[in-house]
Structure 1
């Protein structure tokens, strides 16, 4: 009778658990990469749809550079993610190939061992019957032991046959998995070649536009500076409106009007808390679109020596796109400036969301709005066909990066 080593069994369980953990981790990573790849593919689809929608219009060179720059960055990210998937599949394929080799070797040993047992059993039956083997025992104890041996040998032979069957099935499954992984990798590589072609085409067009801009760089630099001055002017006016709103709320609450934060009622405090708890999960202010210009300070795409600053994000969207409130709140201001399209400000307790460049407004000051409620329509520039809006999130005067608040921005 063979006695199993308990410590060997424990080591086997630990090894199996570790291997299982690695496989689970790889599968989880593969799923995350696939999810991200599909997100980037949808992003490119949105860019292409909006570009096709506006292709009949003559965009400015600066706007074209923004478009090319954004699509190049998305395509580059898609190539990076697809390469990561392919590399992970390569590691999984290599692991499965090694596993197949080990299983084949193991099956060869098992089959040889099993064949040996069959031959031994056959010879044993020819030389002496089992009954004679038992009857030739010197005493009952020896006969009992011989009976146990015959039973154990028979059980072992049966288990060996079952093990061969299971190992054969495992080998087949691993082979199928390997073939599937190889096909997935082939598709990823083929797709990456197509993406690479698109990226090269975008870069060529980007270079052509940049070459045209550089011929008259001073003119475009002046345009960028003028845009920044206009943006700063709007931001200063918005800050003035916020200051007045804060002073009004504090005066109503009997507090200092010089405070930099809103005085909150119990209801407003709950609203602010709910707003914060939904950070990263808020819906987009438009149903379909992508961020064309990001938040914060960044070098100009045309002249790297120029630093441009944005207190929010600029979102490109489709013509006649509706603007939606990103959370429950109250319309605190609808503002119109000379040569500037309407701006809607919604208060969420101590937070504000600001929606700029609207052509129509569907709400009025004091209206209570719900999440995803339509509050207006995005303005479409008739000269170039661009439909863009600016979106800002602010806590008092402090501007926050919308990408940290809006779901998958």
Structure 2
């Protein structure tokens, strides 16, 4: 074996000893990042809920909170289980490789020992000289010199192999211990989460029993809230339609064309392209918050036969939370619906972001705003202590799922 081949072998052994341990580390890192996100979300939910403990929340609101907590915790347990299962597979693979390495090391050591014994018997200089002098010609003597040199190199190569294999085995054993400790920690954490989940489920069951005693009353309340939400959505939709019509009129588009989208200037088109280019990376409209209600159709947490249709998301946040524009744009309008709190709408080309349930407003119609600029403050219900922002995104006159646009929503 040449010196180059020896170096290649040494490199490959070192590489493999490190690489096989982390064969699935990318997936493990992805799961760990998700687990940390869910843990932070639970901490944030607990913080928000504890800050409102002195207030009298409705049973429906309590069910919504518990539903969200249970859902997030179930996801956390699921992800932690996936991590533990992945570690189990990695540990099994590594244990097999350690056994293989150990067997190979034993064979190398046995071969090396035999070679040393043979070398010891022929180690005196006189036997080497005689081996060279007994050659029948110069060419044979030269070949014998080469043989002795190659044999010495081979001895060194075998010693290097043993050294590298030993290091690889030690590293694999060390990493295996780390993996086993990590798995043990994950299992322990999961047991705690399971106990907490059972407590939350029992709380949910207790409240639901109380609600079911007068389910019609609560169903009527939900329907009333849905009706009010549709009324406000109708006002938002009308403002968007009027803005589209005004943009088309200004651009000279005939009414007979019946355009459903904004007639954009070059500047507005560029802004819309920037907004689209940041899909999935837009900042949250509040610095801290958790999504209590998702976008789209979903069953009511109180009456599963009742469907809730949400044109946006409801974000629970802390008292005094400032509302931030999620992107550069222009304040398209400010609505002040009856029996509801003010709404700010910002236009980003042909995209509109809407911020509902504000207690304070810091902007006016026509203002240019920048990304993360504070445009108001979320209203805090003095009775329940809840601070909830309703947020939606539209493209022209069609609603979008905010979770597809906002970073890690």
TM-score (norm 2): 0.94
Note the 1:292-331 alignment, pairs <5 A.
292-331=292-331
Q: Which residue of 1 aligns with 2:75?
A: 77
Q: Matched residues in 2 for 1:349 and 1:197: separation?
A: 50
Aligned residues of 2:334 and 2:342 also touching (Cα < 8 A): yes
Aligned residues of 2:13 and 2:168 also touching (Cα < 8 A): no
Q: Which residue of 1 aligns with 2:187?
A: 189
Q: Which residue of 2 aligns with 1:407?
A: 407
Q: Which residue of 1 aligns with 2:144?
A: 146
Q: Matched residues in 1 for 2:275 and 2:99: separation?
A: 56
Matched, 1:282 2:282: yes
**Moved >3 Å (runs of 4+):** 13-25, 125-128
TM-score (norm 1): 0.94
Paired residue secondary structure (2:372): coil
Aligned residues of 2:17 and 2:169 also touching (Cα < 8 A): no
Aligned residues of 2:341 and 2:357 also touching (Cα < 8 A): yes
CA shift for structure 1 position 22: 7.1
Q: Matched residues in 2 for 1:259 and 1:152: separation?
A: 85
CA shift for structure 1 position 175: 1.0
Paired residue secondary structure (2:290): strand
1:136-181 deviations in whole A, cap 9, x for unaligned?
1122222122211111111111111111111111111111111111
Paired residue secondary structure (1:341): coil
Task: Output the aligned Cα RMSD.
Answer: 2.5
CA shift for structure 1 position 271: 0.6
Aligned residues of 2:21 and 2:172 also touching (Cα < 8 A): no
Paired residue secondary structure (1:288): coil
Number of residue-to-residue matches in the alignment: 405
Note the 1:215-234 alignment, pairs <5 A.
215-234=213-232
Q: Which residue of 1 aligns with 2:361?
A: 361
Matched, 1:245 2:243: yes
Unaligned stretches of 5+ residues in structure 1: none
Q: Matched residues in 2 for 1:331 and 1:256: separation?
A: 26
Q: Which residue of 1 aligns with 2:209?
A: 211
Aligned residues of 2:105 and 2:165 also touching (Cα < 8 A): yes
Q: Matched residues in 2 for 1:342 and 1:127: separation?
A: 101
Paired residue secondary structure (1:164): helix
Q: Matched residues in 2 for 1:146 and 1:246: separation?
A: 94
Q: Which residue of 1 aligns with 2:56?
A: 58
With over 3 angstroms needed to count, the CA separation of the structure-2 counterparts of 1:273 and 1:23, relative to structure 1, is farther
Unaligned stretches of 5+ residues in structure 2: none
CA shift for structure 1 position 337: 1.3
Q: Matched residues in 2 for 1:325 and 1:246: separation?
A: 21
Q: Which residue of 1 aligns with 2:91?
A: 93
Aligned residues of 2:17 and 2:172 also touching (Cα < 8 A): no
With over 3 angstroms needed to count, the CA separation of the structure-2 counterparts of 1:295 and 1:15, relative to structure 1, is farther
Paired residue secondary structure (1:340): coil
Q: Matched residues in 2 for 1:318 and 1:41: separation?
A: 18
1:357-409 deviations in whole A, cap 9, x for unaligned?
00010000000000000000000111110000100101122000100100000
